[in-house]
Structure 1
Amino acid sequence: MISDFLSVLVDYAWGLPLVVLLMGGGFVLLGYSRFLPLTGMKRAFALVGGQFHHEGEARADGQISHFQALMNALAATIGLGNIAGVAVAISQGGPGAVFWMWVAAQIGMNTKFFECTLSVMYCGRD
């Protein structure tokens, strides 16, 4: 009885409502930020490329470069499962799946942007 109810609930929750919630949330955050994750892409590439690094400054113990910070964040976010998931999606959905993965990634990028912004705003020192 309970397992039947939970099965119906899980099927409903992991269906269209979740897609609408995630995509809708991404669009709301995109509008709220005035398309900052998309319009700031040029500055982001310059920052990761080391354009804003001051040559005369010595790096303190424990400091990492902008590129190292990006790679660390990507490694923590993406993981091995997403790499295998892309391969399965392409094999099952064909080349059209790549387009929809790009669309979903652009919308998800806004959510990740706000996640990182809030984590920096409210981080504490140990």
Structure 2
Amino acid sequence: MSELYTAKVLDHVHNPRNVGSLEDANVVVQAGDPGCGDALVFFIRIENNSIHDIKFLIKGCGAAIATSSVATELVMGKNLDEVMAIDDMTIAAALDGLPEEKMHCSNMAASALHAAVQQYRSTLAGETAPVG
């Protein structure tokens, strides 16, 4: 595995940040990739239009763990517009790159973050947003 991944990826695989759930989350969003079996849940506390806290649980490969972990670091303290600007390439770059066949993992994390922001904004607008 170490030959395929950068030192940053391996660091996040072996020492993932922000793992767990949040009792006071006001947004919970699920994402997954049925093709490879990855399943991700972000628990997010949004206050004053910014990410106040974020945790995640994941079942997946090393790249899925690393991309989810670094995504939590990228969004902590950011406002929601900044979160929406984070894409799969931003996440991969924060890890000093990913093998092409693992880029779907960074897309899963970015898509889940975007879904979380959309869910929160829909809730504020009084709409019902689908979970997942």
TM-score (norm 2): 0.29
The structure whose RCO (Cα within 8 Å, separation 6+) is larger is 1
TM-score (norm 1): 0.30
Between Structure 1 and Structure 2, the one with more helix by share is 1
